[in-house]
Amino acid sequence: MAKVHILDHPLIQHKLTFIRDKNTGSKEFRELVEEVSMLMAYEVTRDFALKDIEIETPVTTTKGQVIAGRKVVIVPILRAGIGMVSGMVNLIPAAKVGHIGLYRDPETLQPVEYYCKLPSDLNERELIVIDPMLATGGSASAAIKFLKDRKVKNIKLVCLLAAPEGIKKVQEEHPDVDIYLAAVDEKLDDHGYIVPGLGDAGDRLFGTK
């Protein structure tokens, strides 16, 4: 079974409180989502392999370590996933970014695909799928299946908030995918919103409603 990593670092929890607050406007919301995503990237990359290289300091030659493992593709689920891209890319600047467009049908809560643009060397890379919200899990699970259908093997899922229902769905359908979260909330409401949650992540990021 895939692991669920709760990133309960004080800085992440502090910023998350202001992300949740309904009085936080779009500008500050975007900045906070970027900052939390950057902090999460630090933990998500913890298992990256290193290799030794020889370098010269101004004083002598010495060995240093650099990232040795697979290259990365960051895959935001449109639209709200876009809010997490810059924070991730700040820490993993060599990453490519692929996009998957899914929206959740408000009646059925089923994910509907409308866009896909991915790098061609996808299956030589480690994939980090990002979306602020893991609610029913329908969107994340569909995006992961979509990537696996393209023979991708190494996938991690990174979300700010999750409902227990969403975690269960992804774990059942994709037991090989580790999930990284800033917090697990209590439940979903009758409209599939995470409670207490942060509202509609896309609307708050982009000022729509």
**15, 16, 84, 136: which one binds ligand PRP (CB under 6 A):** 136
**109 part of the interface to ligand PRP, by CB under 6 A:** yes
CA distance 48 to 34: 22
Catalytically annotated residue among 17, 47, 105, 108: 108
Determine whether 105 is an active site residue. no
Distance, CA of 194 to CA of 186 (rounded, Å): 8
- For the bound state, the minimum distance from the C-beta of residue 140 to ligand PRP, rounded and expressed in Å, comes to 6
Tell me if 86 is assigned to a ligand binding site: no
Residue 133 interacts with ligand URA (CB under 6 A)? yes
Q: Burial, 134: exposed, middle or buried (Cβ in 10 Å; 0-12, 13-18, 19+)?
A: buried
Under 8 Å between Cβ of 31 and 78: no
Residue 201 interacting with ligand URA (CB under 6 A) = yes
Choice between 104 and 174, CB closer to ligand URA: 104
For residue 37, give Cα distances in angstroms to 15, 43, 66, 120, 138: 11, 10, 22, 25, 22
Q: 45 or 103: whose CB is closer to ligand URA? A: 103
Quick check: 159 binds ligand URA (CB under 6 A)? no
162 binds ligand URA, rule: CB under 6 A? no
Alpha carbon distance 37, 35 (integer Å): 5
Q: Which residue among the candidates 8, 105, 189, 203 is catalytic per the annotation? A: 203
Which residue type does 118 have? L
CB of 85 to ligand PRP, least distance (A): 13
Q: What is the DSSP secondary structure assignment for residue 177, as one 8-state letter?
A: -
Does residue 203 carry a catalytic annotation? yes
Q: Is 197 an interacting residue with respect to ligand URA (CB under 6 A)?
A: yes
104 annotated among ligand-binding-site residues: yes
Separation of alpha carbons 29 and 19, rounded Å: 6
The three-point CA angle 82-185-145 to 5° equals 50
How far is the C-alpha of 209 from the C-alpha of 5, rounded, in Å?
Answer: 32
Q: Could you give the residue numbers annotated as active site? A: 104, 108, 200, 203
Q: Which residues bind ligand URA (CB under 6 A)?
A: 80, 133, 135, 192-194, 197, 200-202
Binding site for ligand PRP (CB under 6 A): 77, 79-80, 103-104, 109, 111, 131-140, 166, 192, 200-202
